[in-house]
Amino acid sequence: MMALVTRVLVVLAAFVAASIVAAFVITFAMLMEWQEILAGTGAGWLAVGFFALIVSAKTLLPAMLLIAIAEGLGIRSVLFYGACGGAGLVALYYGLGLAERGPGGLVGRDLEIMAGAGLAAGLVYWMIAGRRAGCWRQQDASSVGA
């Protein structure tokens, strides 16, 4: 039972860290043109915090569903977490109505930034928690037999 509680705490910490990394990527990629404005102020850190709050709040339920599936099935593939992170933030981009639906097509700079931020978040999650997905069941099984 203790292994499960520890695992839940690790998963939550990994989710928060992944949200912060996604916020860094989004903030610094989208606001790169404004670097002169942000250079002397703390506005860049405020933007990181704002994007981290949005990313973590809007992606919490879908991410927890995918995390539960990955933990249950013991999926430890770095490609799974990277692809799910990228697809999740692209879906968030469209879900918030930020995508331009004009004749410009589906791929734009903003869409690429969101996909890259999701990929980075998925990789950070994998490094912290995903590469040991399902390990709590093996620890509980070994402690029951003892």
Instruction: Indicate the DSSP class of residue 130.
Output: G
pLDDT in tens for each of the 146 residues of the chain?
677 788 889 888 999 899 889 888 887 887 766 665 556 566 667 777 777 788 788 888 888 888 888 888 888 888 999 999 999 988 888 888 777 665 555 566 788 888 999 999 999 999 998 887 777 666 555 555 54
pLDDT at res. 38: 58
pLDDT at res. 93: 85
pLDDT at res. 106: 53
Query: Domain-by-domain residue ranges, the chain?
Result: 2-145
pLDDT at res. 96: 80
Residue of 1, 10, 5 whose CA lies nearest to 133: 10
Q: Which amino acid is at 99?
A: A
**pTM to 2 decimals?**
0.77
What are the tokens at 58?
């809007």
Q: How many helices (H) and strands (E) does the chain have?
A: 6, 0
Q: What is the DSSP string of 55-121?
A: HHHHHHHHHHHHHHHHHHHT---HHHHHHHHHHHHHHHHHHTT-S--STT-S--HHHHHHHHHHHHH
Instruction: Indicate the DSSP class of residue 41.
Output: S
pLDDT at res. 35: 64
